[in-house]
Amino acid sequence: MRFRIFGSIVICVLVGFGAFGVSRWAFKPTLRSLADARGLDFGVSVGGSGLRTDPYGSTTAREFNLVATENALKFEPTHPNPDEYTFDEADTIVEFAEAHGMSVEAHALVWQNQNPDWLMNGDWTRETLMDVLHDHIATVVGRYRGRIKYWVVVNEAMTDEGVLADNFWMQNIGPDYIEWAFRWAHEADPDAVLLYNDFNAEGLNPKSGGVYNLMKDLLAKGVPVHGVGFQTHVYYVWSPPPAEIAANMQRLNDLGLQVQITEMDVRIDQPVPEGALEMQADIFREVLGVCLEAENCTAFSLWGLTDAHSWIPYFYEGWGSALVLDGDYRPKPAYDALIETLEKHK
């Protein structure tokens, strides 16, 4: 044997590096380990196909203790035809989470977008559409009863002016579609945490005031709504002031509701300007810090694993670089900012 002294140690180290590669991940805390220590659900939105490959799957399992079903459980993918339900991708995500000791947040039962043509173009009465919605919620939520921790029940139902949007559901059912959606979801899985989710409602403005009033009204009716998701799609030169986010969280806490950062990304115009990554990191640091200080903030999630898996370049021309890992899975200053913030709040 060539190494007589410390030989076994050298061999173990070499074997370890051979199996996992020498990288910045070796011997360093992960987002997941720090979030676990803090009791925070720390999540990322994922697609089922990516989880079957590396480094997508291994990075997801290493860095996060919560996965969000980015598109897999929205109406169109799960219910493509009136008498057809499909769950292959959602099953993959849920099974991955269970295999890796992770929780699941499902998006979204009722939304204006990503609905099938047969639904949007149907000739509905109020009663027939309510039957369709009830069946959809009962079937989708019921399939995963006891396996999904959080459900986004209603997504983006509020206008910037703080009134209910005149969307498909409002036009065909009326404002009580929100109430019924929560009641039916609760019937299908009484143990799931049920959320209302929206964008541009993180700080204090007419929209967040409308969301607050909606929650207050639903609770007064005994509707089983448990929390509010702040999507937090912002950009590197603007984000709601942390004090406003904290005040918004507090008033929802006063109603007995939890809050979550559900879809955070911080987009940057391209090519990335000098200093922009550091400004992005500061925003991630601030928002996570507010969440960790809030009594009722139970989860913090990113909308996409890496910059290569972000929706931003497809919807905001000339923008990108919105996440904490770049397209090659390398950590950016924002990743380090999240690590430092979690370490500070142990």
Catalytic residue annotation: 156, 263
Strand partners, 230: 198, 261
Strand partners, 266: 234
Give all strands (DSSP E) within the chain, no chain letters. 41-46, 66-69, 103-106, 150-155, 193-198, 227-230, 233-235, 258-269, 297-302, 319-320
Q: How far apart are CA 346 and CA 176, in angstroms?
A: 42
Mapping DSSP onto H, E and C, the string for 279-291 reads: HHHHHHHHHHHHH
Q: How far apart are CA 223 and CA 332, in angstroms?
A: 42
CA-to-CA separations, 58 to 29, 305, 322, in angstroms, rounded = 15, 11, 21
User: Checking phi first, is residue 279 left (phi over 0); if not, alpha (psi -120 to 50) or beta?
Assistant: alpha
DSSP structure string for 207-265: HHHHHHHHHHHHHHTT----EEEE--EEETTB---HHHHHHHHHHHHHTT-EEEEEEEE
CA angle 182, 188, 191 (to 5 degrees): 85
- β-strands 233-235, 258-269 pairing: parallel
User: How many residues appear in the chain?
Assistant: 346
Q: At what angle do helices 276-293 and 333-344 cross, to 10 degrees?
A: 30
Query: What three-state secondary structure class fits 309?
Result: helix
